[in-house]
Amino acid sequence: MNILAIGAHPDDIELGCGGTLLKAARSGVNVFMYIVTRGSSAGSVVKRSNEIISSAKYIGAKAIWIDDYEDSAVYLTKELINSIEFFIRKTQADVIYTHPIKDNHHDHRAICEATVEAGRFTPNIFAYENPSTKNFAPVLYSDISDVILEKIRLIELYGSQKSKVFLSSNSVKAVAEHRAIQTRLDPKLTHVEAFEVLKMMMNTDHTLLPTRRLAEDLKPSRDIIEYIS
Amino acid sequence: MNILAIGAHPDDIELGCGGTLLKAARSGVNVFMYIVTRGSSAGSVVKRSNEIISSAKYIGAKAIWIDDYEDSAVYLTKELINSIEFFIRKTQADVIYTHPIKDNHHDHRAICEATVEAGRFTPNIFAYENPSTKNFAPVLYSDISDVILEKIRLIELYGSQKSKVFLSSNSVKAVAEHRAIQTRLDPKLTHVEAFEVLKMMMNTDHTLLPTRRLAEDLKPSRDIIEYIS
Amino acid sequence: MNILAIGAHPDDIELGCGGTLLKAARSGVNVFMYIVTRGSSAGSVVKRSNEIISSAKYIGAKAIWIDDYEDSAVYLTKELINSIEFFIRKTQADVIYTHPIKDNHHDHRAICEATVEAGRFTPNIFAYENPSTKNFAPVLYSDISDVILEKIRLIELYGSQKSKVFLSSNSVKAVAEHRAIQTRLDPKLTHVEAFEVLKMMMNTDHTLLPTRRLAEDLKPSRDIIEYIS
Amino acid sequence: MNILAIGAHPDDIELGCGGTLLKAARSGVNVFMYIVTRGSSAGSVVKRSNEIISSAKYIGAKAIWIDDYEDSAVYLTKELINSIEFFIRKTQADVIYTHPIKDNHHDHRAICEATVEAGRFTPNIFAYENPSTKNFAPVLYSDISDVILEKIRLIELYGSQKSKVFLSSNSVKAVAEHRAIQTRLDPKLTHVEAFEVLKMMMNTDHTLLPTRRLAEDLKPSRDIIEYIS
Amino acid sequence: MNILAIGAHPDDIELGCGGTLLKAARSGVNVFMYIVTRGSSAGSVVKRSNEIISSAKYIGAKAIWIDDYEDSAVYLTKELINSIEFFIRKTQADVIYTHPIKDNHHDHRAICEATVEAGRFTPNIFAYENPSTKNFAPVLYSDISDVILEKIRLIELYGSQKSKVFLSSNSVKAVAEHRAIQTRLDPKLTHVEAFEVLKMMMNTDHTLLPTRRLAEDLKPSRDIIEYIS
Amino acid sequence: MNILAIGAHPDDIELGCGGTLLKAARSGVNVFMYIVTRGSSAGSVVKRSNEIISSAKYIGAKAIWIDDYEDSAVYLTKELINSIEFFIRKTQADVIYTHPIKDNHHDHRAICEATVEAGRFTPNIFAYENPSTKNFAPVLYSDISDVILEKIRLIELYGSQKSKVFLSSNSVKAVAEHRAIQTRLDPKLTHVEAFEVLKMMMNTDHTLLPTRRLAEDLKPSRDIIEYIS
């Protein structure tokens, strides 16, 4: 199985689905990450790129790509859709994780809308939660109780951002505990990542349908920083 | 895996998820069906019960229970929640299929609300589509292209209802084709059943989390017609 | 009565309200069509333009205009609003058919939003359904049972697109049958086109209020392909 | 054309669509009114019934029926649906006016839900606005500029309720003016009644589809006060 | 100022707005609590009632009333509305705290709907969050950073319920931390209670409008356990 | 307390919250106004700017700034967010009044979205109603009964726009009366301004939390017309 996680800025993906990706990579799934901007609004691009690469290594991602869209100036354009579709095809993603549509940050909303269009032939698209997410209505839950400490360590790799209140270990734990309480499923589920389901296709045995093979006939439009594990 | 499908009236379950259940039963999943009323508003109770049992056999269900709530007079009550919870616990359901909340028939809405409360410890609950469903916003799709003819035959078992326009083979096919077109996933997906996700919990490998063992300490409140295969 | 149908790409209008337009034109209503792009993303512009003109003739439209916005790059701008308003005024449209706001294609959403602003003085605006439409919540239904075969022939005029699964005759019929079933009004209503009502103004006798005369003081901003019957 | 207007309490119908009914009756449409309770929460049943009958006469209604459900204790039941369906069939209503679903008064919400079920074979159902309505999202507008004074006189017939602030002539005018401003259609439209469209079916010529003939095989369940003009 | 907090079961109010009430009581506001059921579904009524009274003392409430509706069988009825309105009038509440409308527990939803009707003359009604709340869309935030430990102690007074996972100190903290992170207002805001605003009326100086004096002419319908501080 | 009112065009702020601002300024609150465009679509910029300044004087605003974005071409951009944030920081606004998200004018929607992002550290943001607002769902009400005549005079200062139907004294009164009727709070509340609450933070005593001190480190991007009282 191939998973492509898409985020606007460094650390968005980790906050939203870091625990789920970490567990998936360990179980043999191919995890890929695509970050749309270099996060220049919140610090040095070089430092932040290095942090992403450390994070990707810790997760066990097969590859990570950092694109060059302007931070805080990401809009829903034909070009953005094309950029995302390029990586969907390149990774032959069966499952995509992206931003949700109700989010206070317009970069996040643009990427959500672009992912839905770019992923029109991808069977499974889920949306994760960030501190800027509002009115989140999750229906899909993933147990990360056994990796919550590693998720916190993952976030701590973003040392350049540590003044941000929502990147503290307390904050990361609080969200995961709150979502676990809401599921009410099992006292042993102490930490959970929550998702909205944008689209999902299942097999007879209720597993996820893989993507059909997509032609790789697109090109990225800008300079990409690439790290392959 | 254990699936419990819940419906207000005979034929609701079949119209909503008959193809999916049929395929699941064949692949070895335990399928159970619970019908809340005997459908007396639309014909003889004896005839309709026999039709349900024929349908359950055709699907390959392990057991079917037909409760004795009054047709067109199902309301959200403590008793209804208890009745549904009894069968959730009895079947140790991992997945529940039920009515959606936006439906023009109040029996359907009451059962949806009662299922959500009764299933508060069940990890996976999906809502299926009926002709009375309105403003359905499906996100989960199940391929039934290979069993569409059997789904039609399944509906035809409800001979007493054949004057209903939405039970014709054309109607059954039209809905499944319309939903297949909407997924746009693959030209080979010609017929699809669509669902809303009320709740879903996934494992690390993106399969559905099974239920934890629930105590079977409830009692049904009324006379139940039971058929065990 | 004057009807203006607006669509992003060739065949959008026909899929959404082709049957309704066809019947209206035959009953003497003046039907006009305005297509915002030349559909270059999906084939030769010349071929597609010819297909639109054939389609317009088959419908019996008084005139058709094909604008020169870039396919898949239509955004909500002052210019787009102006372009649409130009044709609203030119046609003195009493009724407008346009895309709905919940649609996976951003060209469609932009045109919906622009139509609402451009049509602020138009009494009646309805939104039609396309394969890319999601969470459609129709309340207005139009019987096309007697022209379903002609609607299919209309779609078949778009020969250059025939590989698209949603343009097959089966697909066109499936949607129309599904919507007919949902109305549950009459077994004789076998095929229906469904609409959302964005705005509607009625006379005492429950007919639609015509537009008041609007000044024709705007200009189109780009090259227009015009075909007048 | 036959119109059936349904309201929970005396004066609900008049406030919501009194002007539209008045104009329709004058233009030759058959107007019928069905009031579900006798309004005992707000005064003498005899006095209130007489007020309704005066109002029906002023409107020019063909007949009015006042049912005997308990004021402020109307719930969505099989019986309520049956009661409403009885009058839908008796009047062979082509158009129904009823309460909207978003309303602070639970009597109103119950009647809206019951009307939708009872009217499953009726082609056109519209929801009107009352002072208790919240989050009203009207799309259908009816010009009552020429009868606003008569609408006020109509409300004044409910003399027993005149201490209610929302029954003052100012209040009635304010709502109608506010809705007229929102349409922005024409400076001559100074007073408007606004509606949500629950369902609507149109003919080729964009007029409303009449109902097909419905069997009159139901019975009312309670004592009915009947007034036939 | 008078605050009336309404909850379905013992501990609902404390979980939702315990910190806010505690701070309000200390600052001199009159806090009243009305619990609709005795919580018999989850333990001994005597024990639970004593726990409520301990909690009310700890909060500093002026009075607490425990009504006798059946746990898990609270429905929206004329009687329930009357019961709530009785206490609104008795306490001359300026502000009401109640359950939100989107909640998985039907007792909670019924009480929310009844409060809105019963409080039609009350200027300020806010809805708090419980573990059963779903799709909560808060807009109003209250800082409880300085009393989070006391809120936890408050919940611990409900010793009979301590097996419930959502009553652990961790859970209580997690929700409050998650809501604080979402406000993003100030790193010093570490714990927050969040609310939906159902209705609010403000003075010129942006303070809350107090209620106008309401007649106390209603009667409770059942046995009430009363504790006056 | 500092209030910043933001509007797309001259007269938007006055129509939406003119009465509330007028009363606030008189009670000693610092009122600031920021208008994003010069309103060139509807007349001479010089004339309209003078009208705004007259209006600001009448309200008693401390300062007013008129920016130079193109009328009817305001989009959600990084620059717009920065421009709004500049004035939020300059005025140290505790409360912001802005456009609502559901509005037919795209300039209004863009400003609403930009305000939410720019105001991420501001505790209180409310959205006001304009004639172009649709599906407004207000929960916050402000009594302007005692200044309704002054509000009308305020609107009349916009003499250059007086042909607009929604600027007539009747229209202004109608909206305020309609909103007063909806509150149903008190017969003495005859005129009310209504708001949606986008965000609100309250103190222990249920007053609004003031903003924490924000650094003034941004720059406006265009020419600003400034008027300081």
The partner residue sitting opposite D208, judged by closest CB among C121, C197, C206, is C206
Q: Which amino acid is at B49?
A: S
User: Does residue F204 register a pLDDT over 90?
Assistant: no
pLDDT in tens, A30-73: 999 999 999 888 778 888 889 999 999 999 999 999 999 999 99
Alpha-carbon distance B36 to E201, whole Å? Answer: 46
What percentage of chain A reaches a pLDDT higher than 90? Answer: 75
Torsion of CA B31, B36, B37, B42, to 10 degrees: -60
Unique residue bearing structure tokens 């009692």: B219
Q: What six digits make up the tokens of A131?
A: 């501190």
Average pLDDT over residues F54-79: 96
Strand, helix or coil for residue A184: coil
* CB contact (8 A) between residue E206 and residue F203: no
Average pLDDT over residues C68-74: 96
Distances in whole angstroms, Cα of residue F87 to Cα of each of F17, F34, F81, F84: 19, 8, 10, 5
Exposure string over A61-93, b if 16+ CB within 10 A, otherwise e: bbbbbbbbbebbebbbbbebbbbbbbbbbbbbb
Average pLDDT over residues C144-164: 90
Q: Which residues contact E119 (CB under 8 A, 6 or more apart)?
A: E84, E85, E88, E93, E96, E125, E199
Q: Interface pTM (ipTM) of the complex?
A: 0.94
Contacts of C113 in chain F (CB under 8 A): 106
Strand F140-143 to F95-98 pairing? unpaired
The partner residue sitting opposite A113, judged by closest CB among C72, C75, C106, is C106
pTM recorded for the entire structure: 0.96
Decide: E109 and B117 in contact? Cβ < 8 Å: no
Unique residue bearing structure tokens 């709907």: E113
Find, in chain E, the residue whose alpha carbon is nearest to that of D73. E78
Contacts of A186 in chain B (CB under 8 A): 121, 212
* CB contact (8 A) between residue E173 and residue A173: no
pLDDT in tens, E26-56: 999 999 999 999 988 877 888 888 999 999 9
Alpha-carbon distance D155 to D176, whole Å? Answer: 13
DSSP classification of residue A2: E
Find, in chain A, the residue whose alpha carbon is nearest to that of C41. A78
User: Does residue F140 register a pLDDT over 90?
Assistant: yes
DSSP H helices in C119-168: 148-156
Q: Which residues contact B52 (CB under 8 A, 6 or more apart)?
A: B10, B33, B35, B64, B66, B227
pLDDT in tens, E178-214: 999 999 888 889 999 999 999 999 987 888 999 998 9
pLDDT in tens, F29-52: 999 999 999 988 877 888 888 999
Burial class (CB in 10 A: 0-12, 13-18, 19+), D118: buried
Identify the residue with better confidence: F66 or F43. Answer: F66
B210 to chain C, any CB pair closer than 8 A? The answer is no
pLDDT at B226 (0 to 100): 93
Strand, helix or coil for residue E22: helix
DSSP H helices in F30-128: 45-59, 78-91, 106-118
> Taking CB atoms and an 8 Å cut-off, how many pairs form between chains A and F?
14
Q: Could you tell me the sign of the dihedral formed by the alpha carbons of F213, F217, F220, F226, in that order?
A: positive
Q: Could you tell me the sign of the dihedral formed by the alpha carbons of A103, A105, A108, A109, in that order?
A: positive
User: Does residue B209 register a pLDDT over 80?
Assistant: yes
Chain B: closest CA distance from residue C169 (Å): 11
pLDDT in tens, F90-115: 999 999 999 999 999 999 999 999 99
Q: What stretches of C8-145 adopt beta strand conformation (E)?
A: 30-37, 63-69, 95-98, 124-127, 140-143
Decide: D37 and D87 in contact? Cβ < 8 Å: no
pLDDT at F98 (0 to 100): 98
User: Does residue B42 register a pLDDT over 80?
Assistant: no
Exposure string over D121-154, b if 16+ CB within 10 A, otherwise e: ebbbbbbbbbbbbbebebbbbbbbeebbebbbeb
Sketch the domain layout of chain B as residue ranges: 2-132+156-228
Q: Which amino acid is at E21?
A: L
Query: Within 13 Å and on the Cβ side, how many CA atoms surround F83?
Result: 27
Find, in chain B, the residue whose alpha carbon is nearest to that of C188. B165
- Across chain A, mean pLDDT equals 93
Query: Within 13 Å and on the Cβ side, how many CA atoms surround D143?
Result: 20
Closest Cα partner for A182 from E110, C91, B73, B201?
A: B201
User: Does residue B207 register a pLDDT over 90?
Assistant: no
> Taking CB atoms and an 8 Å cut-off, how many pairs form between chains A and C?
14
Contacts of B59 in chain A (CB under 8 A): none
A200 to chain B, any CB pair closer than 8 A? The answer is yes
Unique residue bearing structure tokens 């008129």: F66
**What number of other Cβ atoms are within 10 A of residue E87's Cβ?**
22
Strand, helix or coil for residue F127: strand
User: Does residue C177 register a pLDDT over 90?
Assistant: yes
CATH for F2-132+156-228 is 3.40.50.10320
Span of C35-49, C139-153, D69-83 with lowest mean pLDDT: C35-49
Chain B window 118-157: which residues touch C at a Cβ cutoff of 8 Å?
A: 131-132, 134-135, 137
Alpha-carbon distance C17 to C195, whole Å? Answer: 9
pLDDT in tens, E94-119: 999 999 999 999 999 999 999 999 99
Q: Which residues contact E72 (CB under 8 A, 6 or more apart)?
A: B78, B81, E37, E41, E106, E107
Exposure string over A195-212, b if 16+ CB within 10 A, otherwise e: bbbbbbbbebebebbbbe
DSSP H helices in chain D: 12-26, 45-59, 78-91, 106-118, 148-156, 169-183
The partner residue sitting opposite F117, judged by closest CB among A70, A73, A104, is A104
Element (H, E) at F37: strand F30-37
Residues of chain D with pLDDT under 70: none
Alpha-carbon distance E18 to A139, whole Å? Answer: 28
User: Does residue C161 register a pLDDT over 80?
Assistant: no
The partner residue sitting opposite D170, judged by closest CB among F131, F177, F184, is F177
User: Does residue C85 register a pLDDT over 90?
Assistant: yes
pLDDT at D167 (0 to 100): 75
User: Does residue F169 register a pLDDT over 80?
Assistant: no
Closest Cα partner for B87 from B107, B113, B114?
A: B114
Chain C: closest CA distance from residue A213 (Å): 17
Strand, helix or coil for residue C13: helix
Unique residue bearing structure tokens 């410890």: B121
In degrees and rounded to multiples of 5, residue F86 shows phi and psi of: -55, -45
B181 to chain A, any CB pair closer than 8 A? The answer is no
Strand C2-7 to B95-98 pairing? unpaired
Alpha-carbon distance E36 to E6, whole Å? Answer: 8
* CB contact (8 A) between residue D81 and residue B72: yes
A70 to chain F, any CB pair closer than 8 A? The answer is yes
Alpha-carbon distance D83 to C75, whole Å? Answer: 51
pLDDT at E170 (0 to 100): 83
For every residue of B159-192, DSSP letters joined together read GGGTTSGGGSHHHHHHHHHHHHHHH-S-TT---E
Alpha-carbon distance C17 to C10, whole Å? Answer: 13
